[in-house]
Amino acid sequence: MNKDNKYINIKDVAEAKGLTSTRSLRLELNKIESKYISREIKVNGGISYEILFSSLEPEIQRKLREAENKTTALVPHNYKEPDFVSDKTKLTANYRANIVVALQKLRKKYPTKKEADTTFLELYNSGLYLPKAYNFIGSISIGTLHRWVRAFEKHESTECLQPKYKWSKQGEYNSILNDEMRNILLTLLLHPSKYNYGKAIKLTKEILRKRGYEELPCDLSFKRFAENFRKNNYAEWILRREGMKAYHDKVEPYIERDISKIEVGDILVADGHVLNFQVINPFTGRPTRATLVGFLDWKSTALPKPISALIENKETATSIVENNYIWSYCLTDMRNKMIEECDYRIAAGGKFTNYKGIMPGVLEEILIAISMEKPLYLLGGFGGVVSDVCEIIKSSNSATKLTEKWQRKNNPNYSLFLDYLNKNNKDMLPNYNNLTTILTLKNLNNGLDKNDNFKLFSTPFVDEAIYLVMKGLKQLKDNEKNK
């Protein structure tokens, strides 16, 4: 018997676990489906237990190995680290050993082994006698049971009950199929024609024979590989075979969110509660119930400062100043991240009123692009905010509609919103006074000269605008090569 798979006294195991007594271990060993493989031994004063070394947790095995130099040799000095064994393989071996041990105990209660084995097999295959083992292993035959018993009695080790598959890493599926066989089979299985297993395997074998293969694995080997791929790559399976709509319906609703992929502040989860008292709404002068709105940061689970929103009905709740603040904060953050990932920006149109944000959205994007030194192309011939921005660049004078005074006058609640920012978060306040110094030809950094930029500012023709943008990009590329 391999010394590495000897039985260890329960007291030594308890000491390695840091337990003051062996009571908890004894209770575990007396369970029908114990996680350890053990045997009874006679000692002075009664019965004790020994636990099979290989059935212990890896951490306990390591501690016992480290203790071998301080005590009697529990494990060999010439111990060699075993080959990689997957968690599933270890569980399979442990459950098989549990089945064998349970059978050995039952045999003591019957006059013949045949009667005991028949009774045990019926009990086990019912799924009620050893439910955990049955759910993991499934039903077994009398031949399989006897084979496990012979192996375990010969080696007294769970290792002899491990499946004989070879693994190199956790989660890997080992197959006799080589890479070429796998690739051909997957190409057919993931085809929009949705070939079934039988059809895909038949076509795969025909292709392989044409490529010179004479001896091929059986159909079952191909089918097992296909089933394993489908089980572990279900999202790709659905997307490739059935399309995006099926992916949305069958996969996306069941995707587990991975909180490790986001950062603090990326996602806020909000909820509100209407308070059970009335106050005077400072915006309307009417009595109303306040709503307490809480925002939970998903990553840190921290609760930022709650916002008290005064609402008179659900229709007006979204127009309150505090809600505008949340919208503005999120829009600014979105625009920063979006522009940061762009190589260049093209701006056209843009509205002066009824927007959500700290300033007209297109104007804010233009200012962010300039601050990040992104190449910027302004199509002023299509009107809107961009047209006024172009006039500021051409004349170096402010545009009436892009002043704080005009914005306060022509946007409802904008004055209240700016006052709120001034009180609660001055860093978010827009600065309309320095637009003439920021909006200059030099800051566009787009590869076009003054004349070409002025053409781009005024042309109403899409084809000409595209030509000028491409000209600027080509010039930037040439400038990069000449550096």
Domain residue extents for the chain: 3-161, 179-254, 263-318, 328-481
pLDDT band at 322 (very low <50, low <70, confident <90, very high): confident
Beta bridge mates, 348: 379
How high is the pLDDT of residue 444?
94
Greatest mean pLDDT range, 248-262, 284-298, 342-356, 416-430: 342-356
Q: Is the pLDDT of residue 479 over 70?
A: yes
pLDDT tens-digit map of 118-151: 999 999 999 888 888 898 888 999 988 998 988 8
Give the residue among 301, 473, 452 at the shortest CA–CA distance from 375. Answer: 473
Distance CA 473, CA 479 (A): 10
- Model pTM? 0.40
Distance CA 37, CA 57 (A): 12
Strand order through the sheet with 38-43: 7-9, 46-52, 38-43
CB 314 within 8 A of CB 344: no
CB 437 within 8 A of CB 367: no
Q: What is the mean pLDDT of the chain?
A: 83
Distance CA 73, CA 142 (A): 39
Q: Is the pLDDT of residue 168 over 60?
A: no
User: What DSSP character marks residue 450?
Assistant: H
pLDDT tens-digit map of 242-292: 999 999 999 888 888 788 888 877 888 888 888 888 887 776 778 888 887
